[in-house]
Amino acid sequence: MHRHYLEPARFPQTALELDRDEARHLQTVLRVRDGELVELFDGQGRTARALVTVTGRHGLHLALAAPPTCHAPPACQLLLFACVSKGKRMDWTIEKSVELGVSRIIPVLSERTIVRLDEEGADGKADRWLRVAVEAARQSGAVWLPTMDVPQSLPAALPVVRACAPVFVAALTPTAQPLRQVLAGLRAPHPPPATVGWFVGPEGDFTPDELRLLLEAGAIPVSCGRQVLRTETAAIWGLCVLGAEFL
């Protein structure tokens, strides 16, 4: 069934009219017709099936076919702290993170991050990444959209690290233990965490001072294995492991 995202404030009770711009994807790409069912989702756990009643050059009309369904949020909130990568790599990271069920994305600008943004550029990036997240949710069937933070410096992200426990950081230091080994020590009799974070550095890795700040904030250094992974690969690798463990 085709899916269409609606902002929570616009989620309908009975009927909905989409203008030409809003309906473009449904009409020109998916080519929906009168009488077809479409699933609406608001990214906040609500979905509803709607019937296409009228299509035309100015848009289309939808009527709810059944009351909306409310889906429970994930038992564990999975947070991704990702140093911003260049080009399309960050878009890819956002897309795959949404498919894997991430609850919040905190883009980080570390000392060795190649991408540099001013305040206006940071806001523009966050808006773009939110659009990428919406499209990934639409295609994957996700009903919850992640919170998308504005890109921030590593020191600015430390309060979130302190508030989220545990937070694992991908580290290349000799003392970093394999993630699976650290996770084994967190299993029963310990209760499952309400939040868990995964922090991945930039292409040039963290500086020693940055890693020290993260560890002082409570982050746990872990190894991703024998190979040195690209930053976007490490982000998805960690989310896969933590998702399998906690989601």
What pLDDT, in 10s, does the model give residues 18-63? 998 889 999 989 999 999 999 999 999 999 999 999 998 888 999 9
- For the chain, what are the domain ranges? 2-70, 77-246
Q: Which fold has domain 2-70?
A: Ribosomal Protein L25; Chain P (2.40.240)
Q: How far is CA 218 from CA 4, 76, 100, in A?
A: 40, 19, 25
The string of pLDDT tens digits covering residues 76-115 is 999 999 999 988 999 999 999 999 999 999 999 999 998 8
Q: Supply angle C-alpha 2, 3, 5, rounded to 5.
A: 155
Within 10 angstroms of residue 46's Cβ, the number of other Cβ atoms is: 17
The predicted model scores a pTM of: 0.93
The helix (H) or strand (E) run that includes residue 239 is: helix 231-246
3-state helix, strand, coil in the chain (%, to 5): 35, 30, 35
Domain 77-246 has CATH 3.40.1280.10: yes
The rounded distance, in Å, linking the Cα atoms of 228 and 233 is 10
Query: Using an 8 Å Cβ cutoff, are 84 and 107 in contact?
Result: yes
